[in-house]
Amino acid sequence: MRVALGSTRPLVAKTTLVGDPGDLVSRLPGSAPYAWIRHGEGLVAWGEAARVTVPPGPGRFEWAHDWLSATFGETDVEDEVRAPGSGPVAFGSFTFDPASPGSVLVVPRAVLVRRDGQAWLTTVGEDLLDPVLPFDDPGRIRYGDGSLTAPEWEHAVARAVRLIRSGRLAKAVLARDLTAVAERPIDVRLLLSRLAQRFPECYTFSCAGLVGATPELLVRRTGETIESLVLAGTAPRGTDASDDLARGAALFASEKDRQEHACAVESVREALTPLCSELKVPEEPELLVLPNVQHLASPVTGRLAAGASVLDVVAAMHPTAAVGGTPTATALEVIRELEGMDRAGYAGPVGWIDARGDGEWGIALRCAQITGTRARLFAGCGIMAGSNPASELAEAQAKLRVMQYALEG
């Protein structure tokens, strides 16, 4: 089942401590970079020791678990660090819709990590001599409509509101895409560098061409401990400090946004309760303030009951109400009916897992799929009975500006 590129022999992974590497993104060579960074710490990686496309379908996470078990189980490991993210690591991106193709797992040939005052390098296979070249600027960017024009998307929101008010469902999350074409090939490293500097509170990620800075941690597993950050309910930043505080207070008091957030928190509670011996869910959300928007946020913590891997938890949680809707099955039907597009990896799980089952996975928000000179940008909004199409469009445009900034600088 394992696919080892260029070899039929077992993989050999070696992890050694290294000096402080400085800026992690600056250490990446130009081709196929992988990343998971927050506040300057995390993982960057390059090359492919093993790669597989996960078959679509309801059992895709179980299939991925089996592939990872086989791949890691056949790997000879020398690991002097023995910490989350040491030894062999796989990066992954799963499509939002289980029926959509394109989910992928990759074991990079090199993984550079900085965490808690330590840094280490894991190599899989032969030593790497990939040159690190200066970042390339993509030049002028031209934008175009994605699957729907702005008025068409507003019409889709209005239709979703009518379906919610009719009682078919309580919430639907509708996504919008935007196309971008650059003068020159888009250097993912440049996007990562801009995102990591501008949005340090977010998780800046790159996997198989999917690049972004998500504020939403789906799950982090460290031993038996898991953490999740639930985000739902959004307001733009203010024009000054006073306006900013007023907007945050209005968001916190908004019945529509509080209800949307409660739906998301409950979906996470339902998914995690069967897996956990302990689960702590705050009674009230807090305000997460980012450079472009503010969110209602609820940090959730728990202790796993039976040693499940981080990917097992991802499988149980996806899709949350924060990116799908409530009830889930009906929301997925409405999304397929109204969006007029395949989301691909947008709003799907993205992150990393090591051979011990530790790892960090986020929801792929504020992101774009990069192919050569082209980019497909995504943003989404939670639609409730009280949603206004024009306001939701403005929210989506605010979220799209994250990747527009990354492209333009």
pTM of the model: 0.93
pLDDT of residue 128: 62
Q: Could you give the 3-state DSSP secondary structure of residue 271? A: helix
The burial class, CB within 10 Å (0-12 / 13-18 / 19+), for 104 is: buried
pLDDT of residue 315: 96
Q: b/e per residue, 385-401, with b = 16+ CB within 10 A?
A: bebebeebbebbebbbb
Other C-beta atoms lying within 10 Å of the C-beta of residue 220:
21
The burial class, CB within 10 Å (0-12 / 13-18 / 19+), for 142 is: exposed
Q: b/e per residue, 263-272, with b = 16+ CB within 10 A?
A: bbbebbbebb
- As annotated, the active-site residues are 171, 216
pLDDT of residue 129: 62
pLDDT of residue 307: 76
What does the alpha-carbon distance between residue 25 and residue 135 come to, in Å, rounded to a whole number?
A: 10
Q: Which CATH architecture has domain 12-408?
A: 4-Layer Sandwich (3.60)
- Please identify which residue in the block is written with the tokens 């198989």: 208
Residues of the chain with pLDDT under 70: 1-9, 127-129
Tokens of 227: 């953490």
DSSP 273-294: GGGEEEEE--SS-EEEE-SSEE
pLDDT of residue 9: 65
Q: Could you give the 3-state DSSP secondary structure of residue 371? A: strand
DSSP 293-335: EEEEEEEEEEEESS---HHHHHHHHPSPTTTSEESHHHHHHHH
pLDDT of residue 95: 98
- Please identify which residue in the block is written with the tokens 């086989």: 70
pLDDT of residue 127: 60
